[in-house]
Amino acid sequence: MMRYIYLLCLLLGLSFLSYAADKETIVERHGRLSVDGVQLVDEKGEPLILRGVSLGWHNWWAGYYNANAVRQIANDWKATVVRAAIGVEPDGGYISNPQRAMQCLTQVVDAAIEQGVYVIIDWHSHGIRLEEAKTFFRIVAEKYKDSPNVIYELFNEPVHQSWDEVKAYSIELIRTIRAIDPDNIILVGNPHWCQDIHLAADDPITGYANLMYVMHFYAGTHKQWLRDRTDYALSKGLPVFISECAGMEATGDGPIDQTEWNAYIDWMNKQQLSWVAWSVSGKDESCSMLHVGTDPTATWPEESLKEWAKIVRAVLLFPTFADE
């Protein structure tokens, strides 16, 4: 009899531990992240894949930069990372209104920390604004240097710049951040909307730890050639983080290419690559996840989600690769 009681207690104890683990947030379970070889790893050195969504440009979709949106993304969609896309050059962006930009950013980062998910602070620019970027990252590094949740993204999508130019710019910002925050992950962009990752692989930044290099794809436009190019970068030892992706054309509109999206999901799972889908916004285009007029401060019912949101949410809720 005592043996059966012992077994019952053991089973109940395991069930309790499992329940307690489920109640832990992703950051509580995995802590501060680092890079080991090409792999993102947690504080125990175990491989980790982050999956999540990006908010749209803050200057156009500031309404979604609130704690309620982050709570839904973290709890209802089960995202483990959210990206705050702080627009730089367009009207209403950081250059013309830095106070508003920092307010939007702080609301999202603080909410992500409260929800226990990782958060990418994205300097969402297509051009080099080095001095403004240094000021921005100096402020955010000072504010969030002690938070294991934070990931810095230096340059959303270089368009016309060469890798030499992007590399030199990135090194200046890495120095700025590392003088304040020696550990948190930094994401480095590359030319041609972050699709020339092979150039970075052939001439990477040296002398700094915990750097990863960004690749962006839109499955309706970017096919096997970009997966092959990224495989080449990985084979050269370059750590890769897919900080923006979607299933339609590179314009952000057009039909969703489900076949290519599935191919990318399978490939990202195989290569253990983290990814962030674009975007939480209410624009009349297929990459915008919510219908026009959706209240960003309210709970989003199923009918407010567009096709793309439902596709991404399904993957977040039921990932095809067990990495946790």
- Hey, where are the domains in the chain? 28-317
Global pTM value: 0.92
What is 28-317's CATH topology?
TIM Barrel (3.20.20)
Long-range contacts: 92-99, Cβ < 8 Å, 24+?
Answer: 92/59, 92/60, 93/57, 93/58, 93/59, 94/132, 94/136, 95/129, 95/132, 97/59, 98/136
Both tokens of residue 199? 């150039």
pLDDT band at 320 (very low <50, low <70, confident <90, very high): low
Q: How far apart are CA 188 and CA 169, in angstroms?
A: 10
The alpha-helical segments, DSSP class H, found in the chain are 2-23, 26-30, 67-71, 98-115, 130-144, 163-178, 191-194, 197-202, 224-235, 258-271, 307-317
Question: In the predicted model, what is the mean pLDDT of residues 250-270?
Answer: 97
State the average pLDDT for the chain: 93
pLDDT band at 23 (very low <50, low <70, confident <90, very high): confident
Question: In the predicted model, what is the mean pLDDT of residues 260-277?
Answer: 98
22 pLDDT above the threshold of 70: no
pLDDT in tens, 51-95: 999 999 999 999 999 999 999 999 999 999 999 999 999 999 999
Question: In the predicted model, what is the mean pLDDT of residues 296-301?
Answer: 93
Q: Are 156 and 128 in contact (CB under 8 A)?
A: no
Q: How far apart are CA 129 and CA 231, in angstroms?
A: 31
Which residues belong to the active site? 157, 244
pLDDT in tens, 190-245: 999 999 999 999 999 999 999 999 999 999 999 999 999 999 999 999 999 999 99
Nearest Cα to Cα of residue 59 among 25, 33, 21, 85? 85
Say what percent of the chain tops pLDDT 90: 91
